[in-house]
Amino acid sequence: MKTSIKTIHSLILLILGMATFNFTALAQQPAVAKNVVLVHGAFADGSGWKGVYGQLVKKGYNVTIVQEPLTSLEADVEATLRILDKQDGPTVLVGHSWGGVIISQAGMHKNVSALVYVAAHQPDKGENTLQWATYLPAAPENGILAPDEKGFVYYDKAKFHAGFAADVSKSDAEFLYASQKPIYGPSFQTKLTDAAWRTKPSYGIVATEDKSINPDIERALYKRSNTKITEIKGSHVLFISHPDAVAKVIIEAAENK
């Protein structure tokens, strides 16, 4: 049976159409990220990420840790953007506590493919951290002090272990207290000008035993933003006490799952 020229032409158009559809579908799939940038919160520095860093590096990820000055939201975002500029492709941006505020703003960077909030604040554009920190009553163990005479906020030594790092050893908690970085108090009142979680995939970890941020505040923020939630039994520094569980969520974000 002879095939007409018209039929052959129709088949060619069909094949080309399917190829175009498949190419478009592949192009629209988010790229798998091999870069991870970790952002610490207030009263801490980047060294707390050591366990998570080790887990990710073993899996082949390129990991960079930001050291924020904690002198203003703008300065902390700028420090994060400098690191993001150096990434060579899709990057998962991870923030703990105050770091969640930073990544919400800095996450607009073109290299950021996904956001991970670890026991973190997640304000929207036009909101500040203080309004959410006071959204629900603080735990009795919470030891965030009032600003000192220079405007910097520290964590109370007497409450540090129970309020900040209850599931690490006493000696480790003492070191964390001794090496804490205070944050400039007015930073908590600075409003965000962007909220990257509105346009980028977001993952959130609730620390169910958190005494520094009420876990129900974390849940409320993540639920509002349609963030994919994972609950882990741990203190505010669960990224130190449970680095494997935290790394697992970061890998999930990197693989777009």
Mean pLDDT of 183-187: 98
Average pLDDT of the residues in 148-155: 98
Predicted TM-score (pTM) of the model is 0.88
Contacts 24+ apart (CB under 8 A), 81-84: 81/106, 81/109, 83/37, 84/37, 84/109, 84/111, 84/112
d(CA 103, CA 130): 17
Do residues 160 and 248 both lie within one domain? yes
Are 164 and 248 members of one domain?
Answer: yes
Q: Are residues 165 and 206 in the same domain?
A: yes
Residues 48 and 136 in one domain: yes
Give 117's strand partners.
95, 204
Q: Is the pLDDT of residue 244 over 70?
A: yes
Binned at pLDDT 50, 70 and 90, residue 22 comes out as: very low
Average pLDDT score over residue span 21-36: 61
Q: Is there a contact between 56 and 250 (Cβ–Cβ < 8 Å)? A: yes
59 burial (CB, 10 Å; 0-12 / 13-18 / 19+) is middle
| Mean pLDDT (whole number) for 141-147 | 97
Contact 225, 177 (CB under 8 A): no
Same domain, 115 and 156: yes
Residue 2 and residue 58 in one domain: no
Same domain for 36 and 15: no
- The SS3 of residue 123 is coil
Residue 167 pLDDT greater than 70, yes or no? yes
Percent of the chain residues past pLDDT 70, beyond the cut:
88
If pLDDT is split at 50, 70 and 90, which confidence band does 16 have?
very low
Q: Are residues 87 and 13 in the same domain?
A: no
Q: Within a 13 Å sphere around the CA of 44, how many CA atoms are in the beta-carbon half?
A: 27
Instruction: Read off the tokens for 198.
Output: 């509105």
Q: Domain residues for 14?
A: 1-30
Confidence of residue 29 (pLDDT cuts 50, 70, 90): low
Domain count along the chain: 2
- The CATH number linked to 40 is 3.40.50.1820
